[in-house]
Amino acid sequence: MKRISLKLKLTLLYTFFMAMLTCAALAILFSLSSREILSSAQSRLEHRVQESVDDLDYDDGELEVGSDFYSVTRDVYLSLYDSEMYFLYGKIPQGFDQQPELAEGVTRTVRDGARSWYVYDLSFRLTSDYTVYVRGITSVADAEESFTVTLRFAVILLPLMVLATAVIGYRFTRRTLLPVRRITSTVREIRADADLSRRIGLAGQDGGADKKRASRDEIYTLAATFDDMLGELEKVFDREKQFTSDVSHELRTPVGVILAQCGEMLRDPSLSEEHQAEVRLIQRKAKGMADMISQLLFLSRADQGRQPLSRELIDLSGLTEMTVEEGQLLADSQRRGIRIESEIEPGIEAWADETLYIRMLVNLISNAVRYSFDNGTVTVGLKREGANVVGTVMDQGTGIPADSLPHIWERFYRADSSRTGENHSGLGLSMVKWIAEAHGGSVSVTSRPGEGSTFTFRLPAGKREEN
């Protein structure tokens, strides 16, 4: 299941709490105001009935009712009954067809069909033996109407408020978490192209307001700390590169002297067979060291951006064919019966550095020969594929275990050091990768252990150098 982003989680949280809060606030408001509205309608009714008694007069055995009694004041209808519940005077609201029992001094709710009414009765003693009853009726619906309006308003307002919280919350969270996205993308870029000179650069780059924010905001502080750490790392890596370069330079001269001295000694006819064998061993080891130093110098120049690339339009088909022939000579000298075949399309050209291209191909071919079984075949191919030149070096040798495949391009990595022999440092493929990429191309590998490997490089075909 896809994980919900932090942005969405926070927004949902805000929205949920906002919805709860709004619901609670409105519920309290409704219950208070409905009670208030209804009780004020009741007290209005009671008050009106009590007042109306002033409009009644009994004179000479005759009951006189003031004109105010008939007017519907404050939504209250008044009617007058005798003790037998016989209607004497007054007004009954339309729709109120019931004749509820008299109930002195209490406000009751009477339902009549779909409507509800408040009814309040009050007795009034006109003489010692003549009592009349005033009945006040008011509609509950009228009282509730204003309350219903409030309710409708709230029902519309509630979702709107929740929606507004969701939108504002989302935008706010997005803005707050923007630096996290920048941190992630910078780290990804650093991982992709191993460029430690990149910085997140949040603090202070977006103007004064952000500078201020940078001093308070935890995420900005995190980004600044990250940048500091990257700065430190870059320094360490630079020192390491410089160290490798210095050491390689320092070693080059003594190794050169050892090789020259070995050559000198081997030319001495008085040297015994036994001593000659010892000197040859020293020479072989020193040769291996000289190769490693030259590879290290190449890579440290590449790291420091000092490895020159002199590209010119070269005939890749011819150059590849020639390198294959030289590879065959080298393979023959090993006497393991390994054949190198070529499947090269003629006339392929590319803007490339001739020396580096040969270096790349020699590395791939010598690896293929080294890891081939005796009497195996290595096939070198070259063809055009759209705007690219695609080269392959295929062997039927030991292959590379799947878990080693991603690492073979790393410096000093050897998948099976027991097979690679003494003079192999694990630097060759790092160089191959650098050369392919420096030409704007790439290199990849497929391999099956026990069956063989195929290295494929792609370079832009016949393109002019861009500078």
**Where do contacts with ligand ADP occur on this chain (CB under 6 A)?**
363, 367-368, 371, 395, 397-400, 408, 413-416, 420, 424-429, 453
Neighbours of 298 (CB within 10 A): 19
C-beta closer to ligand ADP: residue 83 or 375 = 375
**Using the 8-state DSSP alphabet, how is residue 373 labeled?**
P
Residues 6+ away with beta carbon under 8 Å from 333: none
CB 48 within 8 A of CB 78: yes
Name the residue type at position 256.
G
Q: Report, in Å, the least distance between residue 372 CB and ligand ADP.
A: 8
Residue labelled with tokens 């009590």: 50
Residue labelled with tokens 């709004």: 22
C-beta closer to ligand ADP: residue 158 or 362 = 362
Burial label for 19, CB within 10 Å (0-12, 13-18, 19+), is middle
Name the residue type at position 424.
H
Q: Report, in Å, the least distance between residue 231 CB and ligand ADP.
A: 31
C-beta closer to ligand ADP: residue 127 or 418 = 418
Q: How far apart are CA 434 and CA 439, in angstroms?
A: 9
Q: Report, in Å, the least distance between residue 395 CB and ligand ADP.
A: 5
Burial label for 429, CB within 10 Å (0-12, 13-18, 19+), is buried
C-beta closer to ligand ADP: residue 15 or 447 = 447
C-beta closer to ligand ADP: residue 301 or 384 = 301
Give first-to-last CA distance, the chain, whole Å. 49
Q: Report, in Å, the least distance between residue 229 CB and ligand ADP.
A: 30
Strand segments, DSSP code E, in 334-467 are 339-344, 349-352, 377-385, 388-394, 442-448, 452-460
Comparing every residue's Cβ against ligand ADP, the nearest one is 428
C-beta closer to ligand ADP: residue 441 or 452 = 452
C-beta closer to ligand ADP: residue 390 or 427 = 427
Q: Report, in Å, the least distance between residue 340 CB and ligand ADP.
A: 13
C-beta closer to ligand ADP: residue 173 or 453 = 453
Question: Could you give the 3-state DSSP secondary structure of residue 160?
Answer: helix
C-beta closer to ligand ADP: residue 117 or 434 = 434
C-beta closer to ligand ADP: residue 96 or 371 = 371
Q: How far apart are CA 455 and CA 368, in angstroms?
A: 9
CB 183 within 8 A of CB 222: yes
Beta bridge partners of 444: 456
Question: What are the helix (H) ranges across 353-457?
Answer: 354-370, 417-420, 428-438
Q: Report, in Å, the least distance between residue 358 CB and ligand ADP.
A: 16
Of 315, 372, 383, the closest CA to residue 340 belongs to: 372
Q: For residue 369, give both structure tokens.
A: 């020969």
Q: Report, in Å, the least distance between residue 417 CB and ligand ADP.
A: 7
Residues 6+ away with beta carbon under 8 Å from 5: none
Q: Report, in Å, the least distance between residue 374 CB and ligand ADP.
A: 15
Q: Report, in Å, the least distance between residue 320 CB and ligand ADP.
A: 17
Of 108, 72, 113, 81, the closest CA to residue 96 belongs to: 113
Q: Report, in Å, the least distance between residue 370 CB and ligand ADP.
A: 7
Question: Could you give the 3-state DSSP secondary structure of residue 110?
Answer: strand
Q: For residue 135, give both structure tokens.
A: 């009945």
C-beta closer to ligand ADP: residue 134 or 340 = 340
Q: Residue 73 CA to chain centroid, in angstroms?
A: 68
Q: Report, in Å, the least distance between residue 315 CB and ligand ADP.
A: 26
